[in-house]
Amino acid sequence: MIVFEHVTVRYADRPILSDVDLTVPEGELCLVVGGTGVGKSTLLRAVNGLVPHFTGGRLSGRVLVDGRDTRTHPPRELADVVGFVGQDPLAGFVTDTVEEELTYSMESLGLANPVMRTRVEETLDLLGIVELRDRPLTRLSGGQQQRVAIGAALTAHPRVLVLDEPTSALDPGAAEDVLAALHRLVHDLGMTVLIAEHRLERVAQYADRVIWLPGAGAPPVAGPPGPVLAEAPVAPPVVRLGQLAGWRPVPVSVRDARRQAGDLRASLAATPVAHMTVPVTGPGAGPVLRASRVAVSYGQVQALTGVDLAVATGERVALMGRNGSGKSSLLWTVQGGGRRGGGTVTIDGVDPASLKPAKRRERAALVPQQPADLLYLDSVDAECAQADLESGRPAGTCRSIVDAISPGIEAGAHPRDLSEGQRLALALGVVLCPAPPVLLLDEPTRGLDYPAKARLAAMLHGLAADGRAIVLATHDVEFAAEYASRVVVLAAGEVVADGPARAVLTASPVFAPQVAKVLAPVEVLTVAEVARLMQERS
């Protein structure tokens, strides 16, 4: 269905893909994996001709989709064969309401009205969005938007569906909905699906085949999921666990792993796990951040209704919960910049909302969802110098923080040209420059691959050990397992669970990391913990 013949893509002189030879047969769900910046998005966009017709650059070789050559067929002429869903569904919406959005590509194809009517109904049913038909697109939740975007691509009845990180912005429940819909498309309609994703723990189990792009000019490796992922630097925890325990074949789903895990489970059950949770007590012992009965509302919507949170120095708190459960609101209110409807917040005994912005940042640092919002100068050095100036610290303070987090960022580089991880490091340097005791992060793992997430977790461990209280909002269960000492779950503006990470993360299947699901009832969270336990035993 999709054939790449010696495809090389270069922007200016920089090759993104080199000499890619690939064939994706009809009816396969194919997963494209690789680190950040190896050209996953470029590969996907080459399938429907957005590369190079839309992005520029040079493409040599040939891409054939259903027998059509993308050299002679621009994206619009491939619209009836390839459906494309980008990373941010909202940014790709052309119309206002769900029904109009579903019909957009059919109108472009010039289909007859009765055909359009039936296809709209089919698609609404297939994706389970019938009740959303007349809703404005901007009022949908993230998972609903993603399903509408998929539906809008499906109504043209394409043979191939291409999705770029369809679940990265979604909470675990919404991601399940989207993946279930995709699974159904592959199995019921025999559609060929090509997905790129960082959160492999969510998708890998559905894939028929994995294409690993090693980057740096190496040819892609394609094959069955287990063996390919085991070789790649990016792999979900369940694959890593399988490798560690020496299971053959390497499992990709929790189910496969659990069936092979009997022996490991039995041997680990004999070892007490509790001692691995190091009790966290800061030098001052008392909490540095106290929030009590915090309420926030936007118009009629109650974002937070009486939330209590106390965080001590050295604690690493993960705030979890669905999209829209009030995580961001809580972070902004604690920082003092967000509107507070009621309740009290103190950091070191002072209400940050009563302080001027310049003094406030000496109390609490916040990295917003888009770290790039913080950056506005045209080089890394200029940003660092400005941050030193803003916080009245000696020159070089910001740069040294950035170097400690992510060494080797080019001084003259434009912040936009940095990788996601490097940009996050720069943003952290900027906000940590005035040395505040509290660090708040809003969804920092978006767009980070596994190695980058592991580095971020290690770095946050270091910052907490240096005497900071960290609160981080995330959907990423696996990251929370690696990073958090304590987990707070929010739902509909209230705290529904608050406790040590191990207890909260193993208590519910939605928030349980893969390792915990495989090895339950043994309460281990990460592959590293399993490795340590196995070492202790031998």
Partner 1 sequence: MRLHPGAWWVWGLCLAAVASRTTNPLLLGLIVAVAGFVAVRCRQDTPWAGSYGVFLVFGLIVIGVRVVLHILVGGIEGPTVLFTLPRVPLPEWARSIRLGGPVTAEGLVFSICQGMQLATLLACVGAVNALANPKRLLRSLPAALYEVSVAVVVALTVAPQLVASARSVRRARILRGDAVRGARAVRMLLVPVLQDALDRSLLLAASMDARGYGRGAGVSTPARRLTGALVLAGLFGMCVGAYGLLAGDAPVLVGAPMLAVGAALGIGGLLVGSRRVHRSRYRPDPWRPVEFAVLGSGIAALAVTIVAEAVGTAQLVYASVPLTAPDLPLLPAAGVLIALLPAVFA
* Nearer of residues 266 and 389 to partner 1, judged by Cβ: 389
Residue 480 engages partner 1 in binding (rule: CB under 8 A): no
Query: Should residue 123 be labelled a site residue for partner 1 when binding is judged by CB under 8 A?
Result: no
Binding piece for partner 1, criterion CB under 8 A, among 9-17, 82-90, 201-209, 500-508: 82-90
Residue with tokens 């007590």: 281
By CB under 8 A, residue 357 contacts partner 1: yes
Residue whose CB is less far from partner 1, 332 or 511: 332
Task: Assign residue 11 a region (left: φ > 0; alpha: ψ between -120 and 50; beta: otherwise).
Answer: beta
Q: Which two tokens stand for residue 127?
A: 């994706």
349 binds partner 1 (CB under 8 A): no
Q: What is the 3-state secondary structure (H, E, C) of 387-444?
A: HHHHHCCCCCHHHHHHHHHCCCCCCCCCHHHCCHHHHHHHHHHHHHCCCCCEEEEECC
At residue 145, φ and ψ (nearest 5 deg) are: -60, -45
Query: With b meaning 16 or more CB within 10 Å and e meaning fewer, what string describes 310-347?
Result: bbbbbbbbbbbbbbbbbbbbbbbbbbbbbebeebebbb
- Give yes or no for residue 58 binding partner 1 (CB under 8 A): no
Complex with partner 1: residue 105 or 205, whichever CB lies closer: 105
Residue 426 interacting with partner 1 (CB under 8 A): no
Q: How far apart are the C-alpha atoms of 529 and 356, rounded to whole Å?
A: 44
Whole-angstrom distance, CA of residue 185 vs CA of residue 154:
10
132 binding partner 1? (CB under 8 A): no
The total number of residues shown for the chain amounts to 538
Backbone φ and ψ for 440, nearest 5 degrees, come out as -120, 135
Structure tokens that stand for 351 in this block? 């209400």
Q: Which span (3-11, 203-211, 387-395, 405-413) binds partner 1, by CB under 8 A?
A: 387-395
- Say whether residue 113 binds partner 1 (CB under 8 A): yes
Cα–Cα distance measured from residue 392 to residue 434, given in angstroms and rounded to the nearest whole number:
8
Question: What is the per-residue binding string for partner 1 in 250-289, x denoting contact by CB under 8 A?
Answer: ----------------------------------------
Q: Could you say which of 266, 358, 411, 458 contacts partner 1 (CB under 8 A)?
A: 358
Count of residues that bind partner 1 according to CB under 8 A: 66
Which of 458, 455, 517, 533 is closest to 245 using CA atoms? 533
Contacting residue, 29, 63, 79, 439, with partner 1 by CB under 8 A? 79
Q: Is 82 in the site for partner 1 (CB under 8 A)?
A: yes
Contact flags string 198-237 toward partner 1, x per CB under 8 A = ----------------------------------------
Query: Taking Cα atoms as reference points, which of 177, 168, 151 lies closest to residue 92?
Result: 151
Nearer to partner 1, 106 or 515 (CB): 106
- 86, 89, 94, 97 alpha-carbon torsion, rounded to 10°: 150
Distance in angstroms (rounded) separating the CA atoms of residues 66 and 373 = 42
Q: CA–CA distance from 9 to each of 287, 412, 438 (Å)?
A: 54, 26, 45
Among 107, 121, 131, 417, binds partner 1 (CB under 8 A): 107
Interface pick for partner 1 out of 24, 366, 460, 488 (rule CB under 8 A): 366
Which listed range, 91-99, 228-236, 272-280, 341-349, lies at the site for partner 1 (CB under 8 A)? 91-99
Query: What residues make contact with partner 1 under the rule CB under 8 A?
Result: 48, 50, 53-54, 74-80, 82, 84, 86, 88, 91-96, 99-100, 103-113, 116-117, 120, 136, 152-153, 156, 332, 335, 337, 357-358, 360-361, 365-366, 368, 370, 372-376, 386-387, 389-391, 416, 430-431, 434
